[in-house]
């Protein structure tokens, strides 16, 4: 039979000289395979590299020596090791001695394996929540001469059976029972409908004692003689059965059913378990005879750390079962940990099993050795239907406890229980050039245009570098064997000298040492490419030069040195890549604090779109929620709320939904959870890519990104030009023009006071003609109805109840400013009697109000300051009218501040206590006229200054506006 490469490696390593182990290169040569293959397989097998293997053997040897001979000298040790064929340097020996206590602890733990405590150590929580009850169990079992009968109580699925199993192991290990002694278990619930049968199974019966009793038959009590009998669900044992058990517990005597004289004896240690309240479900006289009661704490009372360990352990078990590498997204782990389980640990275990089984089935077609379980995978399993535990403190803690991604080791040796979450290693073999080329062709297929293609690639490159950085920050070191074998030593030296030189020049730079390794590997690849005359294309070169100019310059210096050393010419495109590494070299805090994105759509549209975007941009944060047609909206709402809680990092969530019934999903999530949301009422791939890119590069806060997207989409809708000389109108449509059209009109009027609306019936034969006439007289903002009249040049919008409140409509209406003055005032933007220390503080404050309310774009603040620098905006009477550029205004408004104390406004130190800030779009000039009227009137100004509340000012100004 042919043996696999893994088996060959394992065999070679098993048989190697432990003091002089084989390097990956040695093994590769003897197997005639690539060194990278050996390195990868060795890691899969969980075997350390040759240097670490050697060190472990030597440390153990030294510890042995120290325990045999107290205080051996250095030369004694080196001599002894030499005899065994192990040569080590003095510096390694020093390092081992410096850390002797660490090594002692490390290896003494291993040595003590097999001690009696181990029978309980397979229980997760044995060092935490279960410590007390383990002590109780041990005390109970060690009680002479044969332990105490014990009752284990706890909720269903909490681990009572497993705990009883551990007690049996402990009894064996401590010779309380002899090896090979019976361990009989009986679940009394299995016979709950037939108490007679239960008694006969338990105690045995005499031939003829009941119909069907054809032979004398021993029961479980006899079978468990000299061992342990575990009676699960003991509350199902009928009172008669409990009474028989008294005698057995008191005197060790019992009779089989139907026997009157023949008293039998059995030496049995009873372990019983129940989920019920023992006061009401067991006879008092029986309870009194069970001296030890052990209560297993419910899952709810266990710590987050313990819950994480449990969930990881169950994923590990599945990994071992399927023989596949499992990548479990941190969000998935969070969801499993935070969920409230009625069925406790048992339920957690089975839900993880179902999730893995589903992922396994999905994977069969792909025949990959890896399974990635993302949040989208668990949505189908309805695991959110029972709610999660969302105290904010646990949310914060869990995010710090769970790393970005969880990697379950491939068939690890200790297959049942693993205690640690092991994070994924960065794969150094991937070639960035190739990745970018592949991506480029994939994106081209999407037809998104040259600029967007570059933008997507940029996100991809940034993300790839961020991953390298975060790996380096979390100290996932590149295996030193890998570096030695992969990279030319000359190059490693050159790079590290260059970097230390950089550091010498600028001592403030803190360097990510691990990035050095990545950089060396990358440069090695680059040199190879150049020597093989392969082109290097960096589609983002311009962007890199612009955004990382400093790093680009440093990269050029390094390139000069490499060019000299290797006699090659390195193209600028490559310098761009090196600049990215230079940026990564500087230590930065990696945060994962970005806005969440959730896409909701019917069928599988959402998940298909997300999978395209994830693949394309190498990101993993947009979440798809597919909605089966038969699922009720309430269920979807609940599910979405739970998911929103998991993915929110405090920066809010952007929803995409194209279904009328779910357009208000963002509002519902906000109300129920306090998470800030925005909803885009459309689901298409280009908009989604745009959003992901903006979110990824943290282009701005949620509102900024939302309005940017809506505005760019709005610009698309505005293919039909508007004419400012004509009044604007909205046309509402229904079949007759008298039913729904009128209702729509009314709701529009309620929401947008003063808007002009015309209702028309679709059955009107001259519909097209009528529309044409309206168009001659008006600017038609939109036709809203239930049926599309399909008339060229008309922006038709399908009516839904949510439409009226939607931002989209609001934007549409305000853009054309039917009569902007009616809507410009907002009480929240009238600030009364506030104290500011300076003009700068006031401008900052007003800008944040405007920006948070989505009135202005991010750039507004700069234009506001620039305007002030140009010339003062002071007008007489202690008033100032600061203002930014109309191009950065989303929606016209008037912001008013009445200051409690005067502040200096300009170079001439004129003081102001009243601010009117007109925030105006190009075509909303009318507001300026109104404002002039206010500022010119001494009476109006003095009334405003006398006002005590924003209500009063609002009223005053509304009257002027409406005149």
Ligand X SMILES: Nc1ncnc2c1ncn2[C@@H]1O[C@H](COP(=O)(O)OP(=O)(O)OP(=O)(O)O)[C@@H](O)[C@H]1O
Instruction: Using CB under 6 A, list all residues that contact ligand X.
Output: 123-125, 154, 156-162, 232, 275, 313, 345-346, 349
For the bound state, the minimum distance from the C-beta of residue 382 to ligand X, rounded and expressed in Å, comes to: 20
In the complex with ligand X, which residue's Cβ is closer, 123 or 245? 123
Q: Are 680 and 706 in contact (CB under 8 A)?
A: yes
Q: Are 230 and 273 in contact (CB under 8 A)?
A: yes
* Cβ-based neighbours of 108, under 8 Å, separated by 6 or more: none
Q: Got the DSSP string for 111-150?
A: HTTTSTTHHHHTSTTTTTTTHHHHHHHHHHHHSTTT---E
**What is the C-alpha separation between 754 and 817, in angstroms, rounded?**
11
In the complex with ligand X, which residue's Cβ is closer, 129 or 817? 129
In the complex with ligand X, which residue's Cβ is closer, 125 or 147? 125
In the complex with ligand X, which residue's Cβ is closer, 307 or 694? 307
In the complex with ligand X, which residue's Cβ is closer, 154 or 666? 154
Q: Are 313 and 345 in contact (CB under 8 A)?
A: no
SS3 state of residue 77: helix
In the complex with ligand X, which residue's Cβ is closer, 149 or 517? 149
For the bound state, the minimum distance from the C-beta of residue 163 to ligand X, rounded and expressed in Å, comes to: 7
For the bound state, the minimum distance from the C-beta of residue 166 to ligand X, rounded and expressed in Å, comes to: 9
SS3 state of residue 229: strand
Question: Vertex 831, ends 825 and 832: CA angle to 5°?
Answer: 125
In the complex with ligand X, which residue's Cβ is closer, 125 or 882? 125
- CB burial class (10 A; 0-12, 13-18, 19+) of residue 440? middle
**What is the C-alpha separation between 667 and 675, in angstroms, rounded?**
9
In the complex with ligand X, which residue's Cβ is closer, 166 or 527? 166
In the complex with ligand X, which residue's Cβ is closer, 185 or 806? 185
Cα 120 from chain centroid? 33
Judged by phi (left if over 0) then psi (alpha if -120 to 50, else beta), residue 107 lies in alpha
Residue 906 φ then ψ, to 5°: -135, -175
Cα 918 from chain centroid? 42
For the bound state, the minimum distance from the C-beta of residue 313 to ligand X, rounded and expressed in Å, comes to: 6
For the bound state, the minimum distance from the C-beta of residue 187 to ligand X, rounded and expressed in Å, comes to: 8
SS3 state of residue 23: coil
In the complex with ligand X, which residue's Cβ is closer, 160 or 883? 160
For the bound state, the minimum distance from the C-beta of residue 319 to ligand X, rounded and expressed in Å, comes to: 15
Characterize 632-644 residue by residue with b for buried, 16 or more Cβ atoms within 10 angstroms of its Cβ, and e for exposed: eeeebbbbbbbbb
Question: How many Å from the N-terminal Cα to the C-terminal Cα in the chain?
Answer: 97
| Integer angstrom CA distances of residue 497 from 491, 500, 837 | 10, 5, 51
- Rounded to the nearest 10 degrees, the angle between the axes of helix 35-44 and helix 24-31 is 110
- In sign, the C-alpha dihedral spanning 201, 207, 211, 212 is positive
- Rounded to the nearest 10 degrees, the angle between the axes of helix 605-617 and helix 432-445 is 140
In the complex with ligand X, which residue's Cβ is closer, 127 or 828? 127
**What is the C-alpha separation between 467 and 426, in angstroms, rounded?**
8
For the bound state, the minimum distance from the C-beta of residue 302 to ligand X, rounded and expressed in Å, comes to: 9
For the bound state, the minimum distance from the C-beta of residue 159 to ligand X, rounded and expressed in Å, comes to: 3
Going by their DSSP bridges, the two strands 204-205 and 217-218 should be labelled as antiparallel
In the complex with ligand X, which residue's Cβ is closer, 162 or 762? 162
For the bound state, the minimum distance from the C-beta of residue 655 to ligand X, rounded and expressed in Å, comes to: 37
* Cβ-based neighbours of 77, under 8 Å, separated by 6 or more: 62, 65, 93
User: What is residue 233's DSSP assignment?
Assistant: T
In the complex with ligand X, which residue's Cβ is closer, 421 or 575? 421
Residue number with the shortest CB distance to ligand X? 159
For the bound state, the minimum distance from the C-beta of residue 306 to ligand X, rounded and expressed in Å, comes to: 8
For the bound state, the minimum distance from the C-beta of residue 112 to ligand X, rounded and expressed in Å, comes to: 21
For the bound state, the minimum distance from the C-beta of residue 167 to ligand X, rounded and expressed in Å, comes to: 12
In the complex with ligand X, which residue's Cβ is closer, 306 or 469? 306
Question: Vertex 61, ends 55 and 64: CA angle to 5°?
Answer: 145
Residue 911 φ then ψ, to 5°: -105, 145
In the complex with ligand X, which residue's Cβ is closer, 342 or 712? 342
As given in the structure block, the two tokens for residue 898 are: 């009445």
- CB burial class (10 A; 0-12, 13-18, 19+) of residue 363? middle
Closest CA to 428 of 463, 467, 372: 467
In the complex with ligand X, which residue's Cβ is closer, 272 or 809? 272
For the bound state, the minimum distance from the C-beta of residue 168 to ligand X, rounded and expressed in Å, comes to: 13
In the complex with ligand X, which residue's Cβ is closer, 159 or 227? 159
For the bound state, the minimum distance from the C-beta of residue 106 to ligand X, rounded and expressed in Å, comes to: 24
For the bound state, the minimum distance from the C-beta of residue 347 to ligand X, rounded and expressed in Å, comes to: 8
**Alpha-carbon dihedral 335, 337, 340, 341, rounded to 10 degrees:** 110
For the bound state, the minimum distance from the C-beta of residue 415 to ligand X, rounded and expressed in Å, comes to: 13
For the bound state, the minimum distance from the C-beta of residue 342 to ligand X, rounded and expressed in Å, comes to: 11
For the bound state, the minimum distance from the C-beta of residue 457 to ligand X, rounded and expressed in Å, comes to: 46
**What is the C-alpha separation between 52 and 124, in angstroms, rounded?**
29
* Cβ-based neighbours of 29, under 8 Å, separated by 6 or more: none
SS3 state of residue 554: helix
**What is the C-alpha separation between 293 and 312, in angstroms, rounded?**
30
In the complex with ligand X, which residue's Cβ is closer, 232 or 471? 232
Cα 564 from chain centroid? 46
**Alpha-carbon dihedral 668, 669, 671, 676, rounded to 10 degrees:** -130
């Amino acid at each position: 039979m042919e043996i696999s490469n893994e088996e060959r490696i394992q065999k070679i390593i098993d048989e190697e000289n432990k003091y002089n182990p084989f390097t990956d290169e040695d093994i590769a040569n003897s197997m005639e395979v690539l060194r990278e293959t050996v390195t990868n397989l060795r890691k899969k097998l969980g075997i350390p590299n040759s240097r670490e293997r050697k060190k472990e053997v030597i440390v153990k040897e030294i510890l042995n020596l120290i325990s045999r001979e107290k205080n051996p000298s250095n030369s004694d040790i080196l001599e002894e090791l030499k005899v065994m064929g192990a040569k080590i340097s003095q510096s390694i020996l020093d390092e081992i001695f410096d850390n002797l206590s660490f090594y002692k602890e490390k290896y003494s733990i291993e040595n003590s394996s097999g001690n009696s405590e181990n029978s309980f150590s397979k229980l997760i929580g044995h060092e935490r929540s279960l410590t007390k009850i383990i002590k109780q169990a041990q005390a109970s079992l060690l009680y002479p001469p044969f332990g105490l009968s014990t009752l284990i109580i706890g909720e269903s699925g909490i681990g009572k059976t497993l705990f009883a199993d551990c007690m049996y192991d402990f009894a064996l290990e401590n010779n309380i029972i002899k090896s090979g002694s019976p361990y009989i278990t009986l679940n009394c619930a299995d016979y709950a409908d037939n108490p007679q049968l239960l008694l006969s199974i338990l105690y045995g019966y005499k031939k003829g004692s009941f119909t069907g009793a054809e032979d004398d038959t021993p029961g479980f009590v006899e079978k468990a003689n000299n061992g342990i009998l575990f009676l699960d669900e003991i509350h199902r044992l009928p009172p008669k059965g409990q009474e028989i058990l008294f005698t057995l517990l008191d005197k060790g005597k019992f009779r089989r059913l139907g026997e009157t004289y023949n008293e039998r004896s059995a030496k049995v240690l009873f372990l019983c378990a129940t989920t019920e309240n023992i006061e009401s479900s067991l006879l008092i006289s029986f309870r009194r005879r069970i001296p030890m009661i052990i209560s297993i704490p419910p899952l709810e009372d266990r710590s987050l750390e313990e819950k994480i360990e449990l969930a990881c352990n169950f994923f590990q078990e599945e990994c071992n079962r399927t023989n596949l590498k499992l990548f479990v997204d941190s969000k998935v782990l969070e969801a499993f940990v935070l969920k409230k389980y009625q069925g406790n640990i048992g339920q957690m275990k089975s839900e993880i099993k179902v999730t893995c089984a589903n992922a396994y089935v999905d994977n069969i077609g792909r025949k990959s050795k890896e399974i990635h379980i993302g949040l989208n995978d668990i949505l189908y399993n309805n695991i959110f239907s029972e709610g999660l535990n969302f105290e904010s403190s646990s949310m914060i803690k869990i995010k710090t406890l769970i790393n970005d991604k969880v990697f379950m080791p491939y068939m690890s040796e200790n297959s049942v229980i693993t205690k640690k979450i092991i994070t994924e290693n960065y794969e150094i073999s991937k070639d960035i050039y190739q990745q970018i080329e592949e991506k480029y062709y994939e994106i081209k297929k999407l037809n998104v245009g040259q600029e967007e293609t570059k933008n997507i690639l940029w996100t991809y490159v940034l993300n790839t570098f961020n991953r390298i950085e975060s790996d380096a920050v979390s100290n996932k070191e590149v295996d030193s064997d890998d570096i030695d074998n992969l990279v030319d030593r000359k190059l490693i030296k050159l790079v590290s000298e260059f970097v230390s030189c950089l550091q010498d020049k600028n001592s403030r730079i803190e360097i990510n040492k691990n990035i050095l390794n990545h950089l060396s590997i990358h440069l090695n690849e680059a040199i190879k490419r150049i020597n093989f005359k392969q082109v290097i294309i960096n589609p983002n070169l311009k962007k890199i030069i612009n955004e990382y100019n400093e790093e680009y310059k440093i990269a050029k210096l390094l390139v000069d040195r490499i060019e000299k050393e290797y006699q090659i010419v390195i193209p600028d495109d490559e310098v761009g890549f090196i600049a990215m590494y230079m940026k990564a070299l500087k230590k930065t805090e990696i945060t994962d604090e970005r806005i969440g994105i959730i896409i909701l759509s019917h069928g599988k549209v959402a998940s298909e779109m997300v999978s395209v975007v994830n693949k394309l941009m190498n990101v993993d944060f947009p979440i798809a929620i597919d909605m089966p047609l038969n699922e009720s909206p309430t269920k979807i709402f609940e599910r979405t709320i739970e998911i929103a809680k998991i993915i929110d990092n405090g920066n809010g969530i952007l929803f995409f939904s194209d279904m009328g019934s779910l357009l208000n999903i963002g509002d519902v999530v906000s109300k129920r959870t306090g998470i800030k949301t925005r909803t885009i009422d459309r689901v298409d791939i280009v908009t989604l890519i745009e959003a992901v890119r903006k979110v990824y590069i943290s282009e701005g806060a949620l509102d900024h990104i939302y309005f940017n997207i809506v505005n760019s989409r709005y610009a698309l809708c505005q293919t039909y030009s508007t004419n400012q000389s004509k009044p604007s109108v909205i046309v509402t449509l229904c079949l007759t023009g008298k039913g729904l059209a009128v209702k729509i009109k009314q709701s529009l009027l309620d929401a947008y006071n003063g808007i002009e609306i015309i209702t028309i019936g679709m059955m009107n034969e001259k519909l097209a003609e009528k529309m044409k006439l309206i168009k001659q007289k008006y600017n038609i903002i939109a036709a809203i109805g239930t049926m599309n009249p399909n008339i060229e040049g008309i922006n038709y919008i399908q009516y839904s109840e949510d439409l009226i409140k939607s931002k989209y409509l609001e934007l549409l209406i305000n853009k054309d400013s039917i009569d902007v003055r009616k809507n410009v005032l907002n009480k929240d933007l009238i600030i009364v009697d506030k104290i500011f220390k300076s003009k700068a503080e006031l401008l900052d404050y007003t800008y944040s109000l405007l920006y948070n309310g989505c009135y202005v774009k991010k750039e507004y603040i700069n234009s506001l300051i620039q305007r002030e620098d140009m010339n003062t905006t002071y007008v007489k009477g202690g008033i100032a009218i600061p203002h930014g550029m109309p191009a950065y205004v989303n929606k016209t408004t008037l912001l008013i501040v009445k200051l409690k104390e005067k502040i200096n406004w300009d170079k001439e130190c004129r003081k102001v206590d009243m601010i009117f800030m007109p925030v105006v779009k190009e075509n909303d000039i009318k507001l300026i006229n109104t404002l002039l009227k206010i500022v010119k009137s001494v009476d109006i100004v003095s009334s405003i200054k006398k006002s005590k509340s924003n209500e009063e000012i609002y009223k005053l100004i509304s009257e002027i506006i409406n005149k």
